[in-house]
Amino acid sequence: MKRIISILFMVVTGLVCSVNVNAQQLPDGYKKFLGVWNCEPPIGGFGNIKVIESDGKLVVRIKTGTEIRTCKDAELKNGKLYFSFAGVHEWGKWTVKNGKIMTESGGTDGPVSRIYDSFHYGNKIATELQQVWYFYLSENADGDMDLFCHNGIYYLKNDIVLFEQASSPYIHYRKYTNW
């Protein structure tokens, strides 16, 4: 009987320990990001943000001009909550000439930010464009959140990035409150 009780104790203790380990997957400081964050004033672009905990991960939902985007696997680094989502996805033909991204119609999409090695090995014409939005939330002195964003546009051929066009490093987008 003592042996059965001992085994049951080890099983129960093991379950409790495994529950505690799973509950500790998220780093310290994440709870301040949880909840709904409202932007003031609502001016289009990116709107309210909702941060939830789901299965030991942080999930961010953000309103865009036309829909609500879900960003899974948000990451907490140095007290900031980073998340991203894919934006516009287009097909066509683009190349780089004299530091500018040229369209197949002869127009330009603006300056190129980076040319990858794959461009120099014969892959001169991209056939796909993928936009990605990168964000982070950071707590300000008032206890509110500031949203910073960065936009990258990647030009690909056969799923290989040839060149990119990116906005400046993260810029302040707007302030968010949770009331």
Q: For 150-178, what is each residue's pLDDT tens digit?
A: 999 999 999 999 999 998 789 999 999 98
Domain parsing of the chain, residue ranges: 27-177
Name the pTM for this structure.
0.78
pLDDT at residue 136 above 80? yes
For the chain, the straight-line distance linking the first and the last C-alpha, in angstroms and rounded, comes to 57
pLDDT tens-digit map of 82-93: 999 999 999 999
Taking only the tens place, the pLDDT of each residue in 6-40 is 443 443 334 333 333 344 467 778 899 999 999 87
CA distances from 52 to 13, 59, 70, 173 (A): 29, 5, 11, 21
Average pLDDT for 131-140: 96
CATH number of 27-177: 2.40.128
Query: Mean per-residue pLDDT for 104-133?
Result: 89
Residue 147 CA to residue 173 CA, distance in Å, equals 5
In 3D space, the residue among 66, 24, 75 whose CA is nearest the CA of residue 45 turns out to be: 66
Rounded to whole angstroms, the Cα distance separating 125 from 129 reads 11
What is the share, in percent, of the chain residues with pLDDT greater than 90? 62
Contact 53, 26 (CB under 8 A): yes
